């Protein structure tokens, strides 16, 4: 096995939260005074990195913590139709059975993550490093590396955005990108992740 720890992003990687997020985005834009976008613009932004998206929307960095806290609060009342991507519980169970330590590294709250995962799937995870700011994942990764004494080359961060790749590079760990999340697969491929998962089934077939 190539890795000792597989740490997963949550939104867009484990859980299909993008339809819900798109449904609230313009309401949040009204509250915080940033640009509203239509469906065509949302698709175009899937090819952009996070800093470019913030600039396009007109969101200054100083506003970001308040916006993210508001979105996390809204998610406490999230529509029950929001669910994990098909096949994720089984894929995670197979990785756990193969001996991988599993973690969640997310800017979402632990409470939201656990609720959407459900008790059985949440129990597969050894660590929850949640509630980070948008660009704070590398610090969470550093904590996991030190806590478990894991060599960086034995740690894999799995995410759906270019910023996940950047966070992994900053922390010196390996990174895998999934094709079913926020950033378009070609934008991710150009960033050169160590692993590229085109389907959920690729997770256990590659890592277990």
Q: Which CATH number characterizes residue 167's domain?
A: 3.40.50.1000
Q: Mean pLDDT score of the chain, rounded to an integer?
A: 91
CA atoms within 13 Å, Cβ hemisphere of 83: 7
> What is the pLDDT, as a whole number, of residue 15?
95
Q: Label residue 142 by pLDDT band (50, 70, 90).
A: very high
Residues 93 and 60 in one domain: no
With a CB cutoff of 8 Å and minimum separation 6, the contacts of 80 are none
Question: Do 104 and 140 sit in the same domain of this protein?
Answer: yes
Which of 94 and 20 is assigned the larger pLDDT? 94
**CA atoms within 13 A of residue 62's CA, in its CB half-sphere:** 0
* Same domain membership, residue 170 and residue 188: yes
| Same domain (yes/no): 89, 120 | yes
Q: Is the pLDDT of residue 135 over 80?
A: no
Domain termination residue (choose one: 51, 75, 99) = 75
DSSP structural state of residue 79: -
Six-digit token pair at 177?
């990108």
- With pLDDT > 90 as the criterion, what percentage of the chain qualifies? 60
| pLDDT at 125 (0 to 100) | 98
User: What's the confidence (pLDDT) of residue 84?
Assistant: 95
Considering the domain architecture, whether residues 22 and 11 belong to the same structural domain is answered as: no
Amino acid 79: pLDDT: 60
- pLDDT tier for residue 24 given thresholds of 50, 70 and 90: confident
At 80 the pLDDT is 66
Q: What is the mean pLDDT of residues 145-166?
A: 96
Last residue of one domain, picked from the residues 75, 92, 108:
75
Which strands sit side by side in the sheet containing 101-105, from one edge to the other?
Answer: 127-129, 101-105, 5-8, 155-159, 174-178, 195-197
Q: Which of 55, 75, 95 is the last residue of a domain?
A: 75
Co-location of 45 and 117 in the same domain? no
State yes or no: pLDDT of 70 exceeds 70.
yes
Domain count, the chain: 2
Do residue 128 and residue 179 come from a single domain?
yes
Query: Do 104 and 69 have their domain in common?
Result: no
Please check the confidence at residue 45 and state whether its pLDDT lies above 90.
Answer: no
Residue 58 shares a structural domain with residue 93: no
- What is the span of the domain harbouring residue 192? 5-16+83-207
96 and 111 part of one domain? yes
Q: How far apart are CA 81 and CA 31, in angstroms?
A: 25
Both 40 and 105 in one domain: the answer is no
Same domain, 191 and 146: yes
């Amino acid at each position: 096995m190539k890795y000792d720890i597989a740490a997963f992003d949550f939104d867009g990687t484990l859980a299909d939260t993008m339809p819900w997020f798109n449904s609230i985005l313009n309401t949040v834009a009204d509250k915080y005074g940033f640009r509203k976008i239509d469906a065509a613009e949302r698709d175009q932004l899937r090819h952009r990195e996070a800093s470019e998206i913030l600039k396009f929307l007109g969101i200054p960095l100083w506003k970001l913590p308040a916006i993210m806290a508001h979105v996390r609060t809204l998610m406490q009342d999230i529509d029950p139709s929001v669910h994990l991507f098909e096949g994720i519980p089984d894929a995670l169970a197979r990785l756990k059975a193969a001996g991988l330590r599993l973690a969640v590294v997310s800017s979402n709250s632990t409470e939201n993550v656990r609720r959407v995962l459900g008790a059985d799937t949440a129990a597969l995870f050894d660590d929850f490093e949640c509630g980070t700011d948008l660009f704070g994942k590398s610090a969470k990764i550093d904590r996991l590396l030190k806590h478990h004494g894991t060599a960086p080359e034995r740690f894999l961060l799995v995410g759906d955005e270019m910023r996940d790749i950047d966070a992994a590079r900053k922390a010196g760990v390996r990174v895998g990108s999934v094709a079913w999340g926020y950033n378009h697969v070609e934008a991710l491929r150009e960033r050169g992740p160590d692993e590229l998962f085109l389907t959920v089934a690729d997770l256990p077939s590659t890592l277990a």
